A and B are shown apart, each in its own frame.
Chain A
Amino acid sequence: MANSVLVLITKPPYGLEEAFAGSRLALGMVSSGNVGKCNLLLVGDGTLNAVATQNPEIIGMPSNMEALQDMTDMEFKVYCVKQDLDERAPGASVLNFVEMVDWEKARKIIDEHQMVTTF
């Protein structure tokens, strides 16, 4: 029986439903109390979710930053692969609760969880 889940987000924050849906799914897992450990890893285009200067109000969309912040309030970790973000937004400021990792660490994080679901 699974006691740990990693939500892997590969899609950017706006234009597609996935990133928001994935962060909400993770929040539901954590708040349920049924799953002991649930964390989130941003890779590829998903690393753009970690950018601190998002302004979704301009396009009338809900904020992914708030969804991620809600999770960290519940001892939930948000990891982001630095190399992938640097390739897409060099020099971007990053949300202060996001832990930047390299791919070696990302592989270990994936390995530490019993289940992985990708968005």
Chain B
Amino acid sequence: MKTMTIQLRTGTMMNMDCNVAIKLTDAALDKGYDVRIFGYGEGVWLIKAGQEPKRFPNVGEEAKKLVETGKVEVTVCNTCTTARGFRRGEEIQGMKIGSLTNDLSRFVAESDRMVTIAR
């Protein structure tokens, strides 16, 4: 099984980076990859529950559908969520507030490829 890690470092609404991460994940699944997304810095907002963009894609909901395939894992940095007042229990079900040391390092060690999406 091939695995790809996406390191996402931008937030949900200011540009299309999260949308790109979602589409890239979808494409990677089609090519037989399992995908790990790690949100760092502003990238943590991807897993915030209750997103309600009026005219734009709801990337949180789209990420949730990908996680439900069982082939995608989404985790974000706990230091980054704490700094932003994003508390445990506010994440979308099936996604996780984790850590660089335990989770991103594991994702990298398990992956064949890593893509960084940032500005």
Q: Which residues of A contact B (CB under 8 A)?
A: 1-3, 5, 17-18, 21, 24-25, 28-29, 31-35, 115, 117-119
**18 A-B residue contacts at CB 8 Å?**
A1-B110, A2-B108, A2-B109, A5-B108, A21-B40, A21-B41, A24-B79, A28-B101, A28-B104, A28-B105, A29-B100, A29-B104, A32-B100, A32-B101, A32-B102, A32-B106, A33-B105, A119-B118
CB distance from A7 to the nearest CB of B (A): 10
Task: Check A117–B102 contact: CB distance below 8 A.
Answer: no
Task: Check B118–A2 contact: CB distance below 8 A.
Answer: no
Count, A-B residue pairs, CB within 8 A: 56
Q: How far is the CA of A113 from the CA of B61 in the complex (A)?
A: 35
Task: Check B109–A28 contact: CB distance below 8 A.
Answer: no
Check B116 for interface membership: any CB of A closer than 8 A. yes
Task: Check A2–B41 contact: CB distance below 8 A.
Answer: no
CB < 8 Å neighbour of A118 from B41, B104, B113, B116 = B116
CB distance from B104 to the nearest CB of A (A): 7
Check B29 for interface membership: any CB of A closer than 8 A. no
CB distance from A96 to the nearest CB of B (A): 27
CB distance from B36 to the nearest CB of A (A): 12
User: Known interface pairs A2-B108, A2-B112. Does A25 touch B118 (Cβ–Cβ under 8 Å)?
Assistant: no
User: Known interface pairs A21-B40, A118-B116, A119-B118. Does A28 touch B108 (Cβ–Cβ under 8 Å)?
Assistant: no
A24, A25, A31: residue with the most chain B Cβ atoms closer than 10 Å? A25
User: Known interface pairs A34-B106, A35-B109. Does A28 touch B99 (Cβ–Cβ under 8 Å)?
Assistant: yes
Q: How far is the CA of A35 from the CA of B114 in the complex (A)?
A: 14
User: Known interface pairs A21-B41, A25-B100. Does A34 touch B116 (Cβ–Cβ under 8 Å)?
Assistant: no
Task: Check A29–B41 contact: CB distance below 8 A.
Answer: no
CB < 8 Å neighbour of A29 from B105, B110, B113 = B105
Task: Check B100–A28 contact: CB distance below 8 A.
Answer: yes
Q: How far is the CA of A25 from the CA of B7 in the complex (A)?
A: 11
CB-defined contacts of A17 to chain B, threshold 8 Å? 41
CB-defined contacts of B113 to chain A, threshold 8 Å? 115
CB-defined contacts of A35 to chain B, threshold 8 Å? 105, 108-109
CB distance from B2 to the nearest CB of A (A): 10
CB distance from A107 to the nearest CB of B (A): 19
B100, B114, B118: residue with the most chain A Cβ atoms closer than 10 Å? B100
